[in-house]
């Protein structure tokens, strides 16, 4: 019973956060001199209005959920992995290269590409973890810097060695991946692809891993109280390897899924400029690093973004209203961390 | 080699280093009071936008800088309130501040100027270039040091001022005490919270100036996310400089130099992607040699665990 209550309470806070975010958005809309109700109605329609829009939203949610899950695991262990963008970019690039050049039957190449994408994303993330564990280089900073390096490297790869020479393409992108290697669509004519199922499975698996397994317990312990964890014999370095590798692998999977499911090629800047990585971090913060909550928050953020596109199509309110709502949401959430802390202190007294 | 290293390279280095240095000084003063300000990037971004907005509304560069400072101070108050009063995790607050800054500036860019991506007005006045009377006639030195926007000189002046303030004045001593051991400082009657607020506001002022230099210094324009990680590089500069103003100057100069150098290298038929990578790689490598020894660790400990 108390457990149910606790879960409900955990759900209540994000709902309050959403209401506050929408209020902030409403203020912005009023300042622009538009109707709040009309705008939000358009936003709802743009996100969930029809089956087509719903699948669009879920497609957008897929990479957000996957990167969010990766970050959630790292946060749980107390590691601020800010590098999901870079891990995602490299994962997507690696998957594209594998899909383009590996011979074999389509389904096998598809699986191998996904695995390679995960491996490269994981190794890139592990590199930052290794530098922290071995040389004491602040993980937060190194992962941020690695984002820029990864994006620029991928940009170079598709601008020169891998550039699509066919067609009139002046774009920096790889050639189109063969149709047999695409992630299958879930509904014909809709953008939603099998990556969404992978994301949901990953969310459930990660939830079980964190809540039920020994390593999951050690990771939570490390995040909640590093000193107690050290006393209990948890090796920070080993945990960091596990957490960062998995975290990066999930981000890499997000990139690979985007490349194989949606774009069918690696297009320079397409992964980084859509801000999937940062939205994933936001989803994690919203859900206080709970994997299932991260999935819900990921869908919510995606709905805000696709809904805002509907708003832009049909009203005078710009698309950017979504970024205001998102930002206020996360700010509220970070304040909530504070309230939780205050409460704990009062209980101690 | 004289094509690679010449006067204009060092001249542009000083120009590029200014936003980084100003923001890094802001980070340093926050670190000194025990707050690890990850939100520098966002503060600078707000500064850059509000400087352009101020210039647009008020039609005067100096008022625009003032406007930017006020805006960023207000913005940094949010950071101060949530991390000091609500005692939230500073890193999480800093990250959300960056989100908030990015969201607000793109929204306002669209709502106020009705443009997407970038705002540019060719009639808008940028910051003037100051020629320093005697120095400008000295051959090499004049070419490097003279002819910058006033904010460039202000940045280095601020560093010296901060060095003196932190290590030679009573109030600076109290500020450091508040960061080093808040509990002990409190027991001696030092108003720790007020000092922390002051430091955050001061970093707001510095980041406002950094943003103004960014958007009004060289080109008078604002582009979405124009800070492009400079706030984070400033954070690294703070750490490498051990939150010591003079050290911060040295590390900022290193990054400014690499940045200017990477622009220079683009003339040498190297792929632009690799030259653009250079500052980030050098930053990463620099972190191997200079670890954050004391201050940020203390800062993090004072805020509970690293989480």
- In chain B, the residue whose alpha carbon lies closest to the alpha carbon of A344 is B87
Over chain B, what HEC string results?
CCCCCCHHHHHHHHHHHHHHHHHHHHHHHHHHCCCCCCCHHHHHHHHHHHHHHHHHHHCCHHHHHHHHHHHHHHHHHHHHHHHHHCCCCHHHHHHHHHHHHHHHHHHHHHHHHCCCCEEECCCCCCCCCECCCCHHHCHHHHHHHCCECHHHHHHHHHHHHHHHHHHHCHHHHHHHHHHHCHHHHHHCCCCHHHHHHHHHHHHHHHHHHHHHHHHHHCCCEEECCCCCCHHHHHHHHHHHCCCCHHHHHHHHHHHHHHHHHHHHHHHHCCCHHHHHHHHHHHHHHHHHHCCCCCHHHHHHHHCCCCC
A173 pairs with which residues across the strands?
Answer: A267
Identify the pLDDT of residue A338: 52
The reply to whether residue A323 touches residue B103, judged by beta carbons under 8 angstroms, is yes
- Provide the 3-class DSSP secondary structure of residue A267: strand
**CB burial readout A275-288, b (16+ within 10 A) else e:** bbbbbbbbbbbbbb
**A138·B107 Cβ contact <8 A:** no
Distance in angstroms (rounded) separating the CA atoms of residues B191 and B174: 9
Indicate if the pLDDT at residue A131 is higher than 90: no
The C-alpha atoms of residue B275 and residue A318 are separated, in whole angstroms, by 36
- Tell which B residues from 204 to 263 touch A, by Cβ distance under 8 Å: 229, 232, 235-236, 239
Beta-carbon separation of A282 and B99 below 8 A: yes
Whole-model pTM?
0.82
CB pairs under 8 A between A and B: 145
Domain boundaries, chain B: 18-227+298-302
Q: Please check the confidence at residue A65 and state whether its pLDDT lies above 90.
A: yes
The whole-angstrom distance between A153's CA and the closest CA on chain B is 7
Q: Using N-to-C axis directions, what is the helix angle for A276-286 and A321-348, rounded to 10°? A: 30
Inter-chain CB proximity B284 and A282 less than 8 Å: no
Partner-chain contact B239 A320, CB within 8 Å: no
Of A146, A153, A337, the CB nearest to B89: A337
Q: Is the pLDDT of residue A38 over 80?
A: yes
Mean pLDDT value across residues A88-113? 89
Asked if B86 and A326 come within 8 Å (Cβ–Cβ), the reply is no
Look at A167 and A66; give whichever has higher pLDDT: A66
Burial of B180 (0-12, 13-18, 19+ CB in 10 A): middle
Question: With 0-12 CB in 10 A as exposed, 13-18 as middle and 19+ as buried, what is A224?
Answer: middle
Question: Nearest chain A Cα to B87, which residue?
Answer: A338
Joined tokens for residue B284: 């990463």
The confidence score (pLDDT) of residue A336 equals: 64
- Across residues A178-190, what is the average pLDDT? 79
What is the pLDDT, as a whole number, of residue A167?
61
- The answer, yes or no, to whether residue A15 has pLDDT greater than 60, is yes
**A28 belongs to a structural domain:** no
Chain A residues whose CB is inside 8 A of the B87 CB are 338, 341-342
Q: pLDDT (tens digit, 9 = 90+) per residue, A198-233?
A: 999 999 999 898 888 888 888 888 877 777 877 877
Of the candidates A141, A152, A327, the beta carbon closest to that of B232 is on A141
The Cβ of residue B130 has, within 10 Å, a number of other Cβ atoms equal to 15
Question: B264 near B7, Cβ under 8 Å?
Answer: no
Are the Cβ atoms of A141 and B109 closer than 8 angstroms?
no
- Residue B303: the pLDDT is 43
Q: What is the pLDDT of residues A152-169, one digit of tens each?
A: 898 888 887 777 777 655
Contact A193, A186 (CB under 8 A): yes
Q: Is the dihedral of CA B112, B115, B116, B119 positive or negative?
A: negative
Q: Do B291 and A137 touch (CB under 8 A)?
A: yes
**How many distinct structural domains can be found in chain A?**
1
Closest CB from A78, A131, A140 relative to B305: A78
Of the partner residues A135, A138, A156, the one whose CB lies closest to the CB of residue B274: A156
Q: Least CA distance to B307: which residue of chain A?
A: A78
Chain B interface test: which of A145, A224, A273 (most B C-beta within 10 Å):
A145
Question: Residue holding tokens 């006639």?
Answer: B137
CB contacts, 8 Å: A327 with chain B:
96, 99-104
Q: CA-CA distance, B52 to B56, in Å (whole number)?
A: 6
pLDDT score of A173: 79
Measured between CA atoms, how close is A206 to chain B, in angstroms?
20
The residue of A338, A339, A348 whose CB has the most chain B CBs within 10 angstroms, and thus the best one to mutate to test that interface, is: A338
pLDDT (tens digit, 0 to 9) for every residue of chain B, 307 residues total? 446 667 777 777 888 888 888 888 888 888 888 888 888 888 999 998 998 888 888 777 788 888 889 999 998 988 888 888 777 778 778 888 888 888 888 888 877 777 777 777 766 777 777 666 666 666 666 666 666 777 788 888 888 888 888 888 888 888 787 777 777 777 887 788 888 888 888 889 999 888 888 888 777 778 777 877 788 888 888 887 777 888 888 888 888 888 888 777 777 777 777 888 888 888 888 877 766 554 445 444 444 433 3
**Any idea what DSSP says for residue A170?**
-
How far does A201 lie from chain B, in Å, by closest CA? Answer: 28
Question: If you average pLDDT over residues A278-286, what whole number do you get?
Answer: 85
Q: Note whether A318 contacts B88, CB cutoff 8 Å.
A: no
Residue A120 has what pLDDT?
94
Which residues 123-182 of B are in CB contact (within 8 Å) with A? none
CB within 8 Å: A137 and B106: no
Reading phi first (left if > 0) and then psi (alpha if -120 to 50, else beta), residue A265 is in beta
Please check whether residue A117 lies inside any domain of the structure.
yes
The alpha-helical segments, DSSP class H, found in chain A are 2-32, 36-48, 51-76, 84-101, 106-135, 139-159, 195-212, 214-224, 226-231, 236-257, 270-273, 276-286, 291-314, 321-348
Give backbone dihedrals phi and psi of B7, rounded to 5 degrees, phi first.
-60, -40
């Amino acid at each position: 019973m108390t457990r149910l209550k606790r879960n409900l309470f955990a759900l209540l806070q994000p709902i309050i956060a959403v209401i506050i975010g929408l209020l902030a958005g409403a203020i912005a809309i009023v300042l622009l001199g538009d109707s709040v109700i009309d705008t939000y109605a358009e936003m709802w329609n743009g996100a969930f209005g029809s089956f087509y829009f719903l699948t669009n939203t879920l497609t957008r949610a897929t990479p957000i959920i996957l990167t969010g899950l990766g970050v959630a695991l790292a946060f749980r262990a107390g590691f601020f992995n800010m590098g999901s963008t870079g891990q995602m970019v490299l994962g997507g690039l690696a998957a594209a290269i594998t899909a383009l050049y590996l011979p074999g039957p389509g389904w096998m190449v598809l699986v191998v590409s996904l695995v390679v994408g995960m491996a490269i994303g994981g190794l890139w993330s592990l590199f930052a973890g290794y530098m922290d564990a071995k040389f004491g280089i602040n993980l937060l900073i190194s992962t941020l810097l690695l984002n820029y390096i990864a994006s620029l490297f991928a940009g170079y790869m598709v601008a020169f060695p891998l550039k699509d020479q066919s067609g009139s393409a002046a774009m920096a992108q790889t050639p189109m991946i063969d149709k047999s290697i695409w992630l299958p669509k879930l509904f014909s004519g809709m953008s939603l692809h099998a990556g969404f199922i992978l994301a949901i499975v990953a969310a459930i698996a990660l939830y079980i891993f964190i809540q039920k397994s020994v390593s999951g317990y050690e990771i939570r312990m490390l995040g909640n109280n590093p000193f107690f964890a050290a006393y209990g014999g948890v090796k920070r370095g080993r945990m960091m390897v596990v957490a960062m590798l998995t975290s990066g692998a999930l981000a890499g999977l997000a990139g690979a899924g985007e490349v194989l499911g949606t774009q069918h090629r690696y297009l320079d800047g397409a992964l980084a400029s859509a801000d999937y990585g940062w939205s994933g971090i936001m989803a994690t913060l919203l859900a206080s690093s709970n994997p299932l909550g991260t999935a819900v928050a990921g869908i919510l953020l995606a709905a805000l973004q696709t809904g805002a596109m509907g708003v832009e199509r049909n009203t005078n309110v710009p698309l950017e209203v979504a970024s205001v709502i998102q930002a206020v949401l996360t700010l509220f959430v970070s304040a909530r961390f504070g309230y939780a802390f205050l409460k704990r202190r009062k209980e101690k007294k | 080699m004289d094509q690679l290293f010449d006067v204009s390279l060092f001249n542009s280095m000083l120009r590029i280093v200014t936003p980084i240095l100003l923001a890094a000084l802001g980070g340093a003063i926050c670190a000194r009071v025990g707050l690890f300000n990850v939100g520098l990037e966002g503060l600078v971004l707000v500064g850059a936008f509000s400087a352009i907005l101020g210039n647009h509304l008020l039609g005067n560069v100096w008022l625009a800088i003032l406007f930017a400072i006020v805006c960023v101070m207000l913005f940094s108050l949010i950071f101060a309130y949530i991390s000091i009063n609500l005692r939230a995790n500073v890193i999480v607050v800093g990250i959300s501040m960056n989100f908030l800054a990015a969201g607000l500036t793109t929204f306002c860019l669209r709502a106020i100027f009705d443009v997407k991506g970038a705002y540019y007005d060719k009639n808008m006045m940028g910051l003037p270039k100051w020629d320093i009377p005697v120095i400008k006639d000295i051959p090499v030195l004049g070419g490097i040091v003279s002819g910058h926007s006033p904010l460039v000189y202000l940045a280095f002046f601020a560093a010296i001022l901060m060095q003196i303030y932190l290590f030679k004045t009573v109030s600076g001593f109290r500020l450091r005490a508040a960061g080093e051991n808040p509990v002990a400082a409190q027991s001696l009657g030092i108003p720790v919270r007020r000092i922390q607020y002051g430091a955050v506001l001061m970093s707001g002022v510095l980041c406002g100036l950094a943003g103004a230099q960014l958007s009004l210094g060289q080109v008078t324009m604002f582009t979405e996310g124009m800070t492009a990680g400079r706030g984070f590089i400033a954070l690294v500069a703070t750490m490498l400089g051990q939150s010591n103003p003079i050290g911060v100057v040295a590390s900022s100069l290193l990054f400014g130099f690499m940045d200017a150098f990477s622009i220079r290298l683009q003339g040498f038929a190297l792929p632009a992607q690799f030259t653009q990578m250079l500052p980030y790689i050098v930053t990463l490598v620099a972190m191997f040699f200079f670890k954050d020894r004391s201050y940020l660790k203390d800062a993090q400990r004072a805020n509970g665990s690293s989480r």
